[in-house]
Structure 1
């Protein structure tokens, strides 16, 4: 049964909330410390008080025993004289009584005259013969007292009597209480203060632990480690001082860090990643899809702030992925999108064609059928031949063919200006990135043209690499860019497509990042009579002193 009761108490204690357990533990420890300190101080004061009373009683007894008048009165056995002398000596003293006896311990003086002539109590055998002074405690004729006894010597040094000076135990107890009661009050106040501090400390722990139990925190930590390990992207968490608090295996692999992850914890991010501005600058600001360079690796990075309970930034967590992987995926997705758009357009046109051809055949208009087939086939082939002659990059040519078909499907016209050509991509841009620039500009022009019913639905494209720069001009007669967005239209998250929930404001931002990386510029002007004109100028060969490879914030 005792073992079961102990296990039950232990289980009950474990079920109590952790902050409450901390409070109870601190309260128990404080109570034990206060009790131990009280016991120590009480015992120390007890020893001090007894020693003090003994010293004081013996000194006073020896002073009385050395009084010449008292010695003479003892010799003459003059009890009246002894009473007068003791009364005078006791004035201003705190002892309770004095008893004087002769050399045989027969009382010569006693506060109670009826006790005179009787033997003194609590005497030590042989003490008077040897001239010894001693203490003795016991119940006497006046009460329980602690007595100091010392012999009385005459001029020749012979013992002629004894002085017994006593302090009642009740008085000593009252002195003890006078000290212990205030001390107990102080201990109670200290205990109350410790209880309050313990409760505040427990509440602080509860806040720091977000109200979770240690087992819950351990589970969260294990989940975080598993989550960090399972994420394919690189993840690095940094505190507000710039020290690494977490890093996953993929991040170490991409950054070329071969040591175990725990070795990097607590190290400055500036010693691990170069450059480290993305981790330490303006950490309260959320960043998304930023092109950066970490340890020579081109990455697409995202950053989210970690906030304290009071809202202040406590650090950041950065996720990133190799830009080469993103570019490969983007190329695949771009080609698939172009194929889908082309097939959708062709399917739509072929359905119309088949309907028209079916009607003409039923009407036996064979010449018209033959003419229609030849005309359409010739127009498609001319467009393909023109794109092949003017654009060496097949991905760019395929993009323009797909956009032409998409424009026709939307009821728009994409005019590629005469003289357009592209035989050399700008230094620093691959086919996918260059196609992304042209494709985003054309998509924006399509959307703007569809929003303006008064426009001519024509989008003009001029693309040329003649000279030292690659020039891209995209003009439309769409809704234009509002004046309020002119300054911020190229920033991430800014979009004119306010009616589209899927618009993220990333297209123009990515265009600017690609162009800036190559040392180029992009301008926005009003098109006449309405719409916008985007112009891009990218040097074919990037200047060697241009150090702006990627986003300046990285």
Structure 2
């Protein structure tokens, strides 16, 4: 029961612990286990090394002592006093723990403890002395637990006359081992301390990279991002500085006709999937808004925003939608706006007519009132028939009809140059694109002419698609274009108007013309004003 409660408490504590602390503790445990295992392994290796080296040293010392003439002579004469003097001198000059000398039957002739003399040595290997064999034995002897080297003593005739037993006590070897292990353990503890510091720094770095969020929070944000990407109607695409796709939603995939799941497209080069890809990998560019592009054969309107992390550029996020969707919306708005403008203009004119007719009726000038009604009705019908005859496309006809009345309301005279004509399908442009071009050029002409007090108030308009080119010409008698901005008048944001919300109309006009490989020229009008001339070949698509 107690163990179960302890486990539950530990699980609860780990669950409530921050990710930084969990990473730190995990690294601490791993490093501690690794260093502990390393320490044990090195102790084992050191123990084997010391045993091997001490055995080698003990055996060499034993053989050297066994070859000393005085020792051989002392053993032959069984002169214990002489052997004692030799052993005492060797003990002072060497670092072995003890030395025992015996005869050919392993009976002690010398022992550090005189009481042991005359007794047989312990832990003798059977038959080894008779064979003249040297060997190492580690066991509990008369001097305690020790590592012993035993080697025979040979006389001048090559006969075994005795045995040397030289030993190193385990307690002494343990001291040597401790002297070697202590610095090693200290070094490992220092390494562990440094690893603890590095673990904390690493966990702090991980937390910073995770923006201080826990894994569950990151997972929730990721799911929210996936849901957001899927919910956005526009296509969304993110690329890094290497041109690799880092994120893409299903709408972007659908519009660009890319096969495979979005997750399989992440990491691929954008230039392998999108043509042309310059807009997506332009590292020197800036944020862009409402750019008209053609990618993968699809005409789109795109926005581009840079990704910046800690002051460093990381790539782009591009949102885009179909141009035809924008065209539908633009057409609807244009038609509504034109309808409202026409109603307002006609209402203004009709109010004037009604006031005039009302005055004539009050003066009982009935014939004059009837004549005026017939005259105005005839003029309106003539204008409608004129425009309908020249312009077969109803959207363009309605636009120009409204612009004619708007010019009249502003005190301007809009003249259609003889030869104007447009078919029901104004190839190669769509009717919405053509309406946008005409509307922007005429609006600019109206505004420029009104600003010139010396103007003759004349606006001349010409359009024809009868030949191999679609030709458009709009001339005004306005203030003209300043030389300082003439060369960049088609650049987005450049305008001769004081309001900051302009600078888009001519940019859109130039964009449409470029898409169809057309050209536009800007000339001075005589005696004042500007002439815009547009030529778009009918046999070239986008």
| TM superposition score normalised by structure 1 | 0.82
Deviation at 1:490, TM superposition (A): 0.6
CA contact (8 A) 1:426 1:541 kept: no
Distance (whole Å) between structure 2 residues aligned to residue 365 and residue 421 of structure 1: 41
Show the counterpart of 1:318: 318
Which SS does the other structure have where 2:312 is aligned? coil
Distance (whole Å) between structure 2 residues aligned to residue 540 and residue 96 of structure 1: 111
Residue 343, structure 1, aligned to residue 340, structure 2:
no
Which SS does the other structure have where 1:493 is aligned? coil
CA contact (8 A) 2:391 2:421 kept: yes
Show the counterpart of 2:504: 506
Residue 535, structure 1, aligned to residue 514, structure 2:
no
Deviation at 1:44, TM superposition (A): 1.4
CA contact (8 A) 1:463 1:470 kept: no
Distance (whole Å) between structure 1 residues aligned to residue 265 and residue 442 of structure 2: 46
CA contact (8 A) 1:302 1:318 kept: yes
CA contact (8 A) 1:300 1:323 kept: yes
User: Of residues 506, 514, 517 in structure 1, which corresponds to 2:515?
Assistant: 517
Q: 1:124 to 1:537 in 2, by over 3 A?
A: same
Show the counterpart of 2:210: 209
The 5 A counterparts of 1:476-515 are 476-478=476-478, 480-500=480-500, 502-503=501-502, 505-515=503-513
| TM superposition score normalised by structure 2 | 0.84
Which SS does the other structure have where 1:301 is aligned? strand
What is the root-mean-square deviation in Å for CA atoms of aligned residues? Answer: 3.6
CA contact (8 A) 1:461 1:472 kept: no
Distance (whole Å) between structure 1 residues aligned to residue 128 and residue 434 of structure 2: 122
Residues 25-34 or 458-467, more deviating: 458-467
The 5 A counterparts of 1:55-454 are 55-87=56-88, 89-90=90-91, 93-101=94-102, 108-110=109-111, 115-119=113-117, 123-124=121-122, 131=129, 135-138=137-140, 145-150=146-151, 152=153, 161-282=162-283, 284-314=285-315, 316-354=316-354, 357-358=357-358, 361=361, 366=366, 369-409=369-409, 411-419=410-418, 421-424=420-423, 427-449=427-449, 452=451, 454=453
Point out where structure 1 has 5 or more consecutive residues left out of the alignment: none
Deviation at 1:193, TM superposition (A): 4.0
Deviation at 1:69, TM superposition (A): 2.0
Q: 1:387 to 1:122 in 2, by over 3 A?
A: farther
CA contact (8 A) 1:235 1:319 kept: yes
Which SS does the other structure have where 1:304 is aligned? strand
Which SS does the other structure have where 2:318 is aligned? strand
Alignment: residue pair count: 535
CA contact (8 A) 1:65 1:162 kept: yes
